[in-house]
Amino acid sequence: MADLTTHIGTLALRNPFIGASGCFGYGLEYADAVDLASLGGVAVKGLFLEERQGHPPPRIVETPSGMLNAIGLQGIGVRRFVAEKLPELRRLGATTIVNICGSTLDEYCEVARILSDHEGVGAIELNISCPNIKEGGIQFGCSLHGTFDVVSSVRKITTLPVIPKLTPNVTDVASFARAAEEAGADAVSLVNTFLAMAIDVETRTPKLSNVMGGLSGPAIRPIAVRMVWECFQAVKLPIIGMGGIATAEDAIEFLIAGASAVQVGTANFVDPFIWGKLTSGLHAYMTRHHITRVADLVGSLRIPTNTHA
Amino acid sequence: MLVDVAADVTANTQLSPDYNVIALSAPEIARVAQPGQFVMIKTQPGLDPLLRRPFSIFERLRDASGAFTGVSLLNKRVGVGTAHLFSARPGDRVGVLGPLGRPFVPVDPPAEAWMIAGGVGLAPFVTLAEALAERGTPMRLFYGARGAADLHYADWFERQGARLHVTTEDGSRGDRGRVTLPLLRALETTSAHQPVALYACGPTPMMRAVAIAAEQHGRTVAVSLEPVMGCGMGGCYSCVVPIRRGTGRQFVRACLEGPIFDGRTIVWDALTGH
Interface predicted TM-score (ipTM) of this complex, two decimals: 0.94
* Cα angle: B77, vertex A58, A132; to 5 degrees: 140
Number of Cβ within 10 Å of residue B135's Cβ equals 14
Q: Is A264 left (phi over 0), alpha (psi -120 to 50) or beta?
A: beta
- Which residue ranges does chain B devote to CATH 2.40.30.10? 3-100
Answer whether B234 touches A (CB < 8 Å).
Answer: yes
Question: What are A112-170's pLDDT values in tens digits?
Answer: 999 999 999 999 999 998 777 666 677 788 999 999 999 999 999 999 999 999 999 99
User: With bands split at pLDDT 50, 70 and 90, how would you rate the model's confidence at A308?
Assistant: low
Residue A1 clears pLDDT 90, i.e. is over it = no
Q: Is the pLDDT at A186 greater than 90, yes or no?
A: yes
Kindly report, residue by residue over B78-93, the tens digit of the pLDDT.
988 999 999 999 999 9
| Secondary structure of A176-198 as H, E, C letters | HHHHHHHCCCCCEEECCCEEEEC
Q: Is residue A206 part of a domain?
A: no
Domain membership flag for residue A172 = yes
Spell out which residues of chain A touch residue B228, defining contact as CB-CB under 8 Å: 57-61
Q: How far is A40 from chain B (nearest CA, A)?
A: 18
CATH number of the domain bearing residue A31: 3.20.20.70
Range(s) of the domain holding residue A135: 6-54+73-196+218-296
Q: How many domains does chain A divide into?
A: 1
pLDDT > 70: percent of chain B: 99
B258 close contact with A: CB closer than 8 A: no
**CB under 8 Å, gap of 24 or more: what pairs does B14-18 form?**
B14/B86, B15/B152, B16/B149, B16/B150, B16/B152, B17/B149, B18/B76, B18/B77, B18/B86, B18/B150
Q: What residues of chain B, 29 to 88, have a C-beta less than 8 Å from chain A?
A: 42, 47-52
For B270, name the nearest residue in chain A, comparing CA atoms only: A56
> How big is chain A, counted in residues?
309
Euclidean distance between CA atoms B206 and B211, whole angstroms: 9
Question: Residue B193: how many CA atoms within 13 Å on its side-chain side?
Answer: 0
Q: Is residue A289 part of a domain?
A: yes
- Measured between beta carbons, the chain A residues lying within 8 angstroms of B1 are 32
Give residue A306's pLDDT: 73
d(CA A34, CA B115): 37
User: What integer pLDDT is reported at residue A309 of this predicted model?
Assistant: 53
Chain B residues close to A208, C-beta within 8 Å: none
Residue B167 amino acid letter: T
Handedness of CA A212, A216, A218, A223 (dihedral sign): positive
Give the pLDDT confidence of B23-40 residue by residue, as tens digits: 999 999 999 999 999 999
Mean pLDDT by 10 residues, chain B (274 residues): 96 94 98 98 93 97 97 94 95 97 98 96 97 97 93 94 95 93 96 96 95 96 96 97 91 97 94 67
Q: What is the pLDDT of residue A50?
A: 96
Secondary structure of A68-129 as H, E, C letters: EECCCCCECHHHHHHHHHHHHHHHCCCCEEEEECCCCHHHHHHHHHHHHCCCCEEEEEEECC
In this prediction, residue A273 carries a pLDDT of: 97
Tell me which chain B residues have a C-beta less than 8 angstroms from the C-beta of A269: 51-52, 230-231, 233, 235-236
Q: Is A264 on the interface with B (CB under 8 A)?
A: no
Q: Which residues, numbered 226 to 255 in chain A, qualify as contacts with chain B under a Cβ-Cβ cut-off of 8 Å?
A: 246
> Tell me, what amino acid is at A115?
L
Residue of B nearest to A51 (CA): B250
pLDDT of residue A139: 78
Return the CATH number of B3-100, one of 2.102.10.10, 2.40.110.10, 2.40.30.10, 3.20.20.100: 2.40.30.10
The whole-number pLDDT of residue B270 equals 87
Between A33, A60, A273, which is nearest B236 by CB? A60
**Cα–Cα distance measured from residue B38 to residue B56, given in angstroms and rounded to the nearest whole number:** 4
Cis before residue B27, ω within 30 degrees of 0?
Answer: no
Contacts of B103 (CB under 8 A, 6+ apart): B34, B35, B36, B37, B260
Q: What is the set of active-site residues of A?
A: 130
Task: Report the pLDDT value the prediction gives residue A130, as an integer from 0 to 100.
Answer: 76
Q: Per the domain annotation, does A35 fall within a domain?
A: yes
Q: Which of B2, B233, B270 sits opposite A56 (nearest CB)?
A: B270
pLDDT band at A79 (very low <50, low <70, confident <90, very high): very high
Average pLDDT of the residues of chain A: 95
Peptide bond into B99 cis (omega under 30): yes
Fold of B104-224: Rossmann fold (3.40.50)
Q: How far is A29 from chain B (nearest CA, A)?
A: 6
Asked, for residue A1, whether it belongs to a domain, the answer is no
pLDDT band at A305, cuts 50/70/90?
A: confident
Nearest to B200 by CA among B150, B269, B261: B261
Using an 8 Å Cβ cutoff, are A63 and A198 in contact? Answer: yes
Say what the pLDDT of residue A307 is: 62
In chain A, the DSSP E strands lie at 6-8, 11-13, 17-19, 41-47, 60-63, 66-69, 96-100, 121-127, 162-165, 188-190, 194-197, 199-200, 205-206, 212-216, 239-242, 261-264
Identify the pLDDT of residue A94. 98
Q: Cα distance from A124 to chain B (closest Cα, Å)?
A: 20
Interchain contact B246–A (C-beta under 8 A)? no
Inter-chain contact B237–A66, Cβ cutoff 8 Å?
A: no
pLDDT given at position B187? 97
Of A24, A270, A26, A33, give the one whose Cα is nearest residue B1: A33
| Distance between A295 CA and the closest CA of chain B, angstroms | 30
Contact A89, A63 (CB under 8 A): no
Strand A261-264 relative to strand B240-245: parallel, antiparallel, unpaired? unpaired
**pLDDT tens-digit map of A221-253:** 999 999 999 999 999 999 999 999 999 999 999
Cα(B54)–Cα(B239) distance, integer angstroms: 11
- How large a percentage of chain B has pLDDT more than 90? 92
Determine the Cα–Cα distance for residues B261 and A25; give it in Å rounded to an integer. 21
